[in-house]
Amino acid sequence: MLMAGGVGALAAAGGGLAVLATLTLVGWITAPHVGLGGGLAGALRSAGLLWLIAHHVEVSVQGVGMIGLLPLGLVLLPAALIEKAGRRLTHEGHVTSLLDVGPAAISIALPYALFTGAVALASGTPVATPSLWQAVMMGFGIALLASAFGAARALAPWRKLAGRVPPRPRSVILGMIAALAVLVAAGAVLSALSLMVHLSAYKLAVGKLNPGIFGSVLLLLASLCYLPNSVIWGIAYLLGPGFSFGIGTAVSPSGSALGAIPAFPMLAALPVGERAAFPAWLGFFVLLTPYLAGALAGLMTVRIAPTPTFEAAPLWGLLTGSLAAAVTGLLAKFSGGPLGSGRLASVGPAGGEVGLVAALEVGVTAALVAGAANWLIIRYHIRRLNAQVPAPPVDWVSDPLPPPPRASAPQPRASGPQPALIVDETDDAGGHRIHVNPWADDPPG
Which residue from 116, 134, 131 is spatially nearest to 61, judged by alpha carbons?
A: 131
Evaluate if residue 301 carries a pLDDT over 80: yes
| Of 323 and 247, more confident | 323
Residue 335 has pLDDT above 80, yes or no: yes
**Average pLDDT, stretch 409-420?**
52
From the CB of residue 183, how many other CB atoms can be counted at a distance below 10 Å? 29
Mean pLDDT to the nearest integer, 344-359: 92
The SS3 assignment for 399 reads: coil
Range list of H helices, 309-436:
312-335, 351-358, 364-387
Average the pLDDT over 388-403 and give the result. 58
* pLDDT, position 246: 84
Q: Which strands, in side-by-side order, build the sheet including 65-67?
A: 65-67, 59-61, 128-130
pLDDT(120) > 50: yes
What pLDDT score does 248 carry? 82
CB contact at 8 A, 339 and 67: yes
Compare 426 and 324 and report the one with higher pLDDT: 324
**Nearest Cα to 258, choosing from 269, 63, 69, 278?**
269
Q: What is the pLDDT of residues 253-264, one digit of tens each?
A: 877 888 778 878
In this structure, the strands spanning 255-257 and 250-252 are antiparallel
Which of 35-49, 248-262, 343-357 has the lowest average pLDDT?
35-49
What pTM value is reported for the model? 0.83
* Residue 277 confidence (pLDDT): 63
pLDDT of residue 15: 92
Given pLDDT bands bounded at 50, 70 and 90, which one contains residue 208?
A: confident
Dist CA 290 CA 286 (whole Å)? 9
pLDDT band at 366 (very low <50, low <70, confident <90, very high): very high
Residue type, 152: A
Strands 347-348 and 244-245, by their bridges, are antiparallel
Q: Given this model, what pLDDT does residue 237 score?
A: 92
d(CA 355, CA 257): 23
Task: Read off the amino acid at residue 379.
Answer: R
What is the pLDDT averaged over residues 410-420? 52
The whole-number pLDDT of residue 124 equals 85
DSSP-assigned beta bridge partners for residue 243: 251
Q: Residue 112: name the closest of 9, 15, 12 by CA.
A: 9
At 414, the pLDDT band (50, 70, 90 cuts) reads: very low
| Burial of residue 143, with CB atoms counted within 10 A of its CB: 0-12 exposed, 13-18 middle, 19 or more buried | buried
Give the per-residue SS3 of 291-324.
Answer: HHHHHHHHHHHHHHCCCCCCCHHHHHHHHHHHHH
Task: Name the more confident of 307 and 323.
Answer: 323
Task: Kindly state the average pLDDT of the residues 142-157.
Answer: 90
Phi-psi region of 381 (alpha: psi -120 to 50; beta: other; left: phi over 0): alpha
198-212, 342-356, 367-381, 393-407: the lowest-pLDDT one: 393-407
Q: What is the arithmetic mean of pLDDT over 221-232?
A: 91
More confident residue, 186 or 222: 186
What pLDDT, on a 0 to 100 scale, did the predictor assign at position 407?
53
CB 148 within 8 A of CB 141: no
Residue 247's region, left for phi above 0, alpha for psi from -120 to 50, else beta, is beta
Average pLDDT over residues 138-166: 88
Q: Residue 10's pLDDT is what?
A: 93
Integer Cα distance of 88 and 84 in angstroms:
6
Residue 320 pLDDT > 50 = yes
**Average pLDDT for 129-156:** 92
CB 202 within 8 A of CB 335: no
How far apart are the C-alpha atoms of 123 and 385, rounded to whole Å? 69
**Portion of the chain with pLDDT greater than 90, in percent:** 43
Average pLDDT over residues 8-19: 92
Residue type, 98: L
pLDDT value for 226:
92
Q: How confident is the model at residue 117 (pLDDT cuts 50, 70, 90)?
A: very high
pLDDT in tens, 163-178: 788 888 999 999 999 9
pLDDT band at 51 (very low <50, low <70, confident <90, very high): very high
Residue type, 265: P
Give the pLDDT confidence score for residue 234 in this predicted structure.
92
| Residue 222 or residue 111, greater confidence | 111
The pLDDT mean for the chain works out to 83
Long-range contacts of 220-225 (CB under 8 A, 24+ apart): 222/71, 223/265, 223/266, 224/73, 225/71, 225/72, 225/73, 225/74
